[in-house]
Structure 1
């Protein structure tokens, strides 16, 4: 049965297609096909009109979605030649958007092919364009990825994975140790050059359209740490690369950044070991946050499929923590308490 919102959405869609001179596909009107959603509250539909023209319709309730951020950042990225979908129409009060259709092929889908490194080079080339945007001369206001922001993200791990999902109750000593590890990770963010951050740059937020990489889901962009987006891509929560590929591709990122006029000064004099530490610890922060978000998506939003993505995030935490003496406790805690509890829950 049609809801009031769905009727409103379809009326708006028809009016916008008329403005774009799109003819109905049949006398029955417009064909809409629901698409798989993302981790947010948005609903997506592929709309087919006459002359084989297709569009993406987004139903994103304004109280639950950062729609203005998406539109603003789309303009910013387009201005800097990042390949993103065009926003064709936007109804801010209702949270309706009509977008260019980039097709069905995700970056994730092409990675089994032999030219994996070439695809990642293309993705990094798009990322460099984002990273090189001058954060001091933005036409839109982006939040700062500051201490409070980072701590809020880290706390999702404690609140939603450790406590709410796994029912692990930390002792006061364990809480102190965890806080000390969080402090190290927050300090690592502060040490890095500040750049424009996509904040969710991974294989499921990249599309392949006409053999070119396109970027989506950037509405939560911030100004933050240099290595956040590259570690999100290379230590992806959904796709694990070999250590050799991670090393080669991170080196490619640094080479491209070092030769870019907007980024060269930010990397001047930074030793390779320092870059590796920034990268490793930034990945830890992201995977700690992501594991908590996946638990929250299950408990709060009934999106239980994300629980299957938690083990890889924990695997990253254990592997990387072992290389830094001030974070060994974190890896040991995850290995001894969190991973066994999660395995039991997922049986």
Structure 2
């Protein structure tokens, strides 16, 4: 039970619950007239992305709102009688969106099994709020209570949630506001490692994907304190619970800025200079970690690259089948890649942040110098050739980087590298750039196909033509002739 002493606190509680509302969901609001049901609904709807002022649909019965992530229905059933729900299409609403229901007793017999019941009681300025979860909401509510306890320990009890952001991982980010100050709650619950795929080990272990926050904390510290970039400082953490309170770097994400009309090249030039700063910082393999320990950055070894490349065979060619014997295709694929991976293994190495591209780069306008560059989503960092992050940026999977811009910014990086290190080998770097670009884009073709076929995230298919164009750019390198021949025999150029 939550003791609430103001309308603002009631809306804040509702906003924090928004993190757990699914695309199709049900939240019921029970209480006497004037208890605060509509006030609670307003806080919830705002956090779910409803931008217009929400009022109680007492006479309209239903207000429908379209948000970027879902349709939200706000129902006030006070004037209905049992059975009237068919006339307003209540069952259809529950199947197509998130439904917030005031006076739910009218439809008690047809409420979804998976739902959150909210009861608001009290008089005057004090309210008692009781939350009861059914079905999937039992687990959600247990997690919510963990988060509430964590925020209370951190001094952020009662904060308002201003919005949510997720990524392709299991993590979710909640922007919190308290007394004019903002912070991000990183909710990173423990997940199943998935099925074993090689020698009893799951994909995440082979590919060195982080499962908890230690690498995030260690890499963030190095980027801030030694490379001079802006990376979110972690101000509080509960590793066992998978909860972290981190610095809020704002919303000026490169991809959004470019979509809004800002020129790409100046932003990417700043990002290239950031990579030069990381390289110049002399980052060690063992980074200072939380609690005074060390975090060893995992090697992007042959096994990790093999399992990433295999995504093309396992997923992409299920989306775009080819007339070839699968066993022979797999054998020749490994054979074509082997000499390039062997060569790459002998080259100089440093840290690679791994997803260094437009969704994970921010412009911190109020800061100076390289601090204007904000970097997020680096917890999967690996130890590999320095060309990896450069090709991730200049062959951005999420937006088109013109080839002329790629060449100009590639030259900018190489000039800085040569100036800092007289032993910089430009020819070897170009070869590594092409190999890692081909490896990364091969992996992405498989991942985006998997996101569509397995997870129903079909929006990623729109990126496939761009990824194929980047891949062919890489395969044009003279050293990759035999590898290029394999792709020409099996991959459509269109």
Counterpart for residue 277 of structure 1 = 431
**Across the two proteins, how many residue pairs are aligned to each other?**
321
State the distance in 2 between where 1:186 and 1:226 align.
15
Matched, 1:62 2:216: no
State the distance in 1 between where 2:491 and 2:451 align.
23
Counterpart for residue 230 of structure 1 = 390
Matches within 5 A, 1:192-207: 192-207=347-362
Counterpart for residue 309 of structure 2 = 154
Alignment check: 8 A CA contact 1:156 1:289 kept: yes
TM-score, normalised with respect to structure 2: 0.60
Q: 1:48 aligns with which of 159, 168, 177?
A: 177
Alignment check: 8 A CA contact 1:192 1:226 kept: no
Counterpart for residue 295 of structure 1 = 449
Counterpart for residue 99 of structure 1 = 246
Alignment check: 8 A CA contact 1:319 1:331 kept: no
The structure richer in helix per residue is 1
Relative distance call for 1:265 and 1:300 in structure 2 (3 A) is farther
**SS in structure 2 opposite 1:326?**
helix
Structure 2 unaligned regions, length at least 5:
1-115, 117-139, 193-210, 289-294, 367-371
State the distance in 1 between where 2:272 and 2:299 align.
23
Counterpart for residue 8 of structure 1 = 146
Alignment check: 8 A CA contact 1:198 1:220 kept: yes
Alpha-carbon deviation of 1:300? 4.0
Alpha-carbon deviation of 1:38? 0.7
**SS in structure 1 opposite 2:384?**
strand
Relative distance call for 1:66 and 1:257 in structure 2 (3 A) is farther
Counterpart for residue 155 of structure 2 = 17
TM-score, normalised with respect to structure 1: 0.84
Alpha-carbon deviation of 1:98? 0.9
**SS in structure 1 opposite 2:155?**
helix
State the distance in 2 between where 1:6 and 1:334 align.
49
Alignment check: 8 A CA contact 1:107 1:203 kept: yes
The structure richer in strand per residue is 2
Counterpart for residue 276 of structure 2 = 128
Structure 1 unaligned regions, length at least 5:
19-23, 341-347
Q: Deviations over 1:97-125 (max 9, x none)?
A: 11111111101223365653322221112
**SS in structure 2 opposite 1:129?**
helix
Q: 1:88 aligns with which of 235, 246, 267?
A: 235
- Which one is further off, 115-124 or 3-12? 115-124
Alignment check: 8 A CA contact 2:215 2:380 kept: yes
Q: Deviations over 1:146-179 (max 9, x none)?
A: 211211211122122224x445574143223312
Relative distance call for 1:297 and 1:66 in structure 2 (3 A) is farther
Alignment check: 8 A CA contact 1:73 1:219 kept: yes
Alpha-carbon deviation of 1:37? 0.9
State the distance in 2 between where 1:266 and 1:276 align.
15
Q: 2:378 aligns with which of 218, 227, 248?
A: 218
State the distance in 1 between where 2:148 and 2:321 align.
44
